[in-house]
Amino acid sequence: MSTTEQRVAVVTGGARGIGAATALRLAADGNKVAVIDLDEAACQSTVQAVKDAGGTALAVGADVSDSAQVEAAVERVVAELGAPTVLVNNAGVLRDNLLFKMSEGDWDTVLNVHLRGSFLMTRACQKHMVDAGYGRVVNLSSSSALGNRGQANYAAAKAGLQGFTKTLAKELGKFGITANSVAPGFVVTDMTAQTAERVGMGFEEFQAAAASQIPVQRVGRPEDIANAVAFFASPDAGFVSGQVLYVAGGPLN
């Protein structure tokens, strides 16, 4: 690839939050960006923001936990933008509850979106990376991978993604492909707003309580996470693989 040729990056869950910030950042770094989310129309604001900043982006509607939709989405990306060699598995949902109240549906939904979704997306994209002899996979884990009350499903999925990442690094390294994981702490998005609502706190109050426990004394912004993803997604990170970077304003236990 010449230095002027643009790479194609895929960001799942890119309609809002961390995914939207990541799509914008990867576009600013010179990638064409496919923004995948459940609803194609919901991807438009991210796509427009990329275009307004002078970049190239495509909105694609797909449920990452559905293999047929994933295959179709990646085919569309290849046809309209080119073969993807950067993949950010960011799509996510919460179905929090204490274990004794957690339904099988809530377990399956969370495992399906985070783990199965990342598996399906990576499987669909890796052949293009192998063909190119180059690839970057970044999986969104979480501080919850270390265990978090009310999140047995989410913690299991986010810890699972770390094992998935390390295995990808071992299997795909010889094709010029790296795989790394970014594990955010508390970041201000609709997801954390939803958690505040569940625990019966105002979002501002919830953020202040979280910030007081964080060494840098503030909560994270989507751009804080996008900055870390952008490093792993860059050509410069070619000797960094199978790593988990906690981006949480301090160390975690």
Where on the chain is the footprint of ligand NAD (CB under 6 A)? 12-13, 15-19, 37-38, 63-65, 90-93, 113, 117, 140, 142, 184, 186-187, 189-192
Q: How far is the CB of 73 from ligand NAD (least distance, A)?
A: 9
Q: How far is the CB of 236 from ligand NAD (least distance, A)?
A: 23
Q: How far is the CB of 195 from ligand NAD (least distance, A)?
A: 8
**Residues with Cβ < 8 Å from 183, sequence gap 6 or more?**
140, 141, 142, 143, 145, 158, 162, 244, 245, 246, 247, 248
Burial profile 144-154: b = 16 or more Cβ within 10 angstroms, e = fewer: bbeeeebbbbb
Q: Are 52 and 34 in contact (CB under 8 A)?
A: no
Q: How far is the CB of 21 from ligand NAD (least distance, A)?
A: 8
Q: How far is the CB of 135 from ligand NAD (least distance, A)?
A: 20
Among residues 52, 19, 59, the alpha carbon closest in space to that of 223 is found at 19
Between the CA of residue 197 and those of 92, 121, 144, 184, 214, what are the distances in Å?
A: 18, 31, 18, 20, 21
Catalytic annotation, residues: 154
**DSSP structural state of residue 187:** B
135 versus 220: smaller Cβ distance to ligand NAD: 220
130 versus 211: smaller Cβ distance to ligand NAD: 211
Q: How far is the CB of 3 from ligand NAD (least distance, A)?
A: 31
81 versus 121: smaller Cβ distance to ligand NAD: 121
Question: Cβ of 75: how many Cβ atoms within 10 Å?
Answer: 11
62 versus 129: smaller Cβ distance to ligand NAD: 62
- Taking the C-alpha atoms of residue 219 and residue 248, their distance in angstroms, rounded to an integer, is 8
6 versus 109: smaller Cβ distance to ligand NAD: 109
Q: Are 79 and 19 in contact (CB under 8 A)?
A: no
**DSSP structural state of residue 6:** P
190 versus 236: smaller Cβ distance to ligand NAD: 190
Q: Are 165 and 172 in contact (CB under 8 A)?
A: no
Among residues 229, 22, 235, 234, the alpha carbon closest in space to that of 247 is found at 229
Between the CA of residue 69 and those of 36, 37, 88, 195, what are the distances in Å?
A: 11, 11, 17, 29
For ligand NAD, the nearest residue by Cβ is 17
